[in-house]
Amino acid sequence: MTGAILLLICLILIGLSIRAFQNGLRRAQTERVLGRLAEGQPQLVEENNQWSGVERMFLRAGLGKPSDHLSLWLAAWALGAVLGLLVASWIGLLVMLVLPPLGLRVYIAWRYQRRITRMIEQLPQLLDHTVRSLKAGRTLADAVMGGIEITQDPLQTAMGRIQRNVQLGVSLPESVHDFAEFYERDEFRLFALGLKVNHRYGGNASELLENLIKMIREREQAARQLRALTGETRVTAYVLTALPISMIGYFLAVNPAYLMTMWNDGTGRILLFVALVMQLLGCFTLWRMLRSV
């Protein structure tokens, strides 16, 4: 049983590394395109190290700085590791050392996606207020600042980063560009790029923002329609993924000797490993199919 647990942990770590590699390639392509669009314009220099990356994840998820409660989290992690060692020897220690960071990473990613979705939904309201302010005769900077004031959380809290940078003397286009790169969303990047182009070359800012509002709303509507049309496919994928795991849990709860007989036999152990690999490959295939729709 110990070998199966270690194999499962190794496969999970391999899957996470493949996922991180794919994200790196996608991010590099996006950065090359944005670099060509913003060529010749000043860029804000941001400190890049491992701790700043962890702090960035926490701030984007709306959890504050990790250093605020670092001692409490480290103490809870150490206590969990000690309890795992006492309950299940070194296997429990290994599980409690690996699972809490992975669980925290998944929770932060979920919080970030939920928060960023809400921010994108609130962005057209801010842009609409900005357009009305521009047509009333206010400057672009005043219109954007006024739009930030009337919007609600989480967008208002997140865009407090823009307000602080402007108060420190950074130009509005550069402040919005820093905000867009911090949250890494195309909608924010288009907003920042539009402000940069307007600041550098002039033009009708209200028309540009109106087109951006239209694009965001059409994109949101298309995403909801796609989610409704593919609902049956997603439910089928979830059921197919959960069915083998549920069956194993049922056997372990009702008749654990059934699986232990297979584990103690050489051929049965091979079949269990093959089944585990096939289950992981099936989950990965279904995940890729869901991503494609």
Q: In degrees, to the nearest 5, what angle opens at C-alpha 52 toward C-alphas 121 and 158?
A: 25
List the chain domain ranges. Answer: 117-216, 231-292
Whole-structure pTM over 0.75, yes or no? no
What is the per-residue pLDDT across 107-161, written as a single tens digit (0 to 9) for each?
888 888 889 888 888 888 888 888 888 888 888 888 888 888 888 888 888 888 8
How much is the pLDDT for 44?
43
CA–CA gap between residue 233 and residue 227 (Å, rounded) = 10
Contacts of 244 (CB under 8 A, 6+ apart): 275, 279
DSSP string, 28-56: HHHHHHHHHHTTTS-------SHHHHHHH
How much is the pLDDT for 35?
59
CA–CA gap between residue 285 and residue 290 (Å, rounded) = 9
3-state SS class at 189: helix
Residue tagged 């909608």 (tokens) = 187
CA–CA gap between residue 259 and residue 272 (Å, rounded) = 9
How much is the pLDDT for 48?
46
How much is the pLDDT for 124?
87
Contacts of 86 (CB under 8 A, 6+ apart): 92
How much is the pLDDT for 2?
55
CA–CA gap between residue 219 and residue 224 (Å, rounded) = 9
Q: Are 268 and 262 in contact (CB under 8 A)?
A: yes
How much is the pLDDT for 139?
83
Residues in the chain, pLDDT under 70 = 1-13, 15-17, 20-25, 27-52, 67-70, 88, 291-293
